[in-house]
Amino acid sequence: MEQGNALIRLEGVNKIFYTEEMETHALSDIDLQIRDGEFAEVMGPSGCGKSTLLSLIGLLDTPTEGGYWLNGESVSDLSPSERAEVRNRHIGFIFQAFNLIGDLTVFENVELPLIYGGVDAGTRREASQRALERVGMSHRMDHYPSQLSGGQRQRVAAARAVVGDPLILLADEPTGNLDSTNGEAVMQLLRDLHAEGSTILMVTHDPRYSAYAERTIHLFDGRITDEEAEIEALGLAQASV
């Protein structure tokens, strides 16, 4: 499989969790590419490996076997500190549970990744204000998470995810804790971010939101179940002949 313009490339990835009594094959023989500027979703039943796949792509975990390239650079064998540095600079996360810090204001939550990245105060302020404006939450920057609705918290989480202009946004069930109205609003926000140039990989089990993504990757029992369709969607069918 040729790399082409793939931002994310996984080849032969397996993930096995070991205990004293058994081993669990969470992912098996995963070959996957995500293109720069794409909005893709991973769908499948509970326990099929969706969150494990997102954790590997987000450098929160490492594969047992196989290769992972991010923007053309191998990241399979990085040390924990190197993974943390790449994660902070290049990957934005939007979690189901928001993961906002309750005793920090909206603005302080959004600027936190930039603090970890050593960005100066003036640049942090400009970038954080711009990110909050992108998600329509600049008027709430001095509020605390407890003063916001669920939909507003997820918008703040999205602002935190994009503040550092990452290569890719990883959204793990971003509507899972929201009612249908707020869920649709968050999906529209993701669509808007994608239209502005963000690359997005979203995990969901809700078929209502499939229309928002350009491409659907189906997982079942730790395997991609429609690999030929994925290759064709990437325009790589000719290269594989």
Contact predicate 163/113, CB 8 Å: yes
- Percent residues over pLDDT 70 in the chain: 92
CB atoms within 10 A of CB 74: 11
Q: Quick one: pLDDT at residue 43?
A: 92
Q: Is the pLDDT of residue 211 over 60?
A: yes
pLDDT reported for residue 235:
54
Q: What is the pLDDT of residue 2?
A: 42
In the chain, what are the domain boundaries? 38-61+78-240
Query: For residues 69 and 77, is the Cβ–Cβ distance under 8 A?
Result: no
Percent of residues, the chain, with pLDDT higher than 90: 77
pLDDT of residue 227: 47
Report which secondary-structure segment, H or E, holds 86.
Answer: helix 80-90
Q: pLDDT tens-digit profile of 21-37?
A: 889 999 999 999 999 99
pLDDT above 60: residue 1: no
Give the pLDDT mean for 42-64: 93
Instruction: For domain 38-61+78-240, give its CATH number from 3.40.1710.10, 3.40.50.300, 3.40.390.10, 2.160.10.10.
Output: 3.40.50.300
Mean pLDDT of 188-197: 93
Mean pLDDT of 51-57: 95
The yes-or-no verdict on residue 228 having pLDDT over 70 is: no
Average pLDDT for 38-64: 93
At 166-191, the pLDDT tens digits run: 999 999 999 988 888 899 999 999 99
For residue 241, what pLDDT band results from cuts at 50, 70 and 90?
Answer: very low
Give the pLDDT mean for 218-235.
Answer: 70
DSSP letters for 139-153: GGTTS-GGGS-HHHH
pLDDT greater than 60 at residue 232: no
Separation CA 147–CA 93 (nearest Å): 22
Select from 181, 196, 114, 121 the least CA-distant residue to 151.
Answer: 181
Q: With cut-offs at 50, 70 and 90, classify the pLDDT of residue 129.
A: very high
Looking at every residue in the chain, the average pLDDT score rounds to 90
Global pTM reads: 0.86
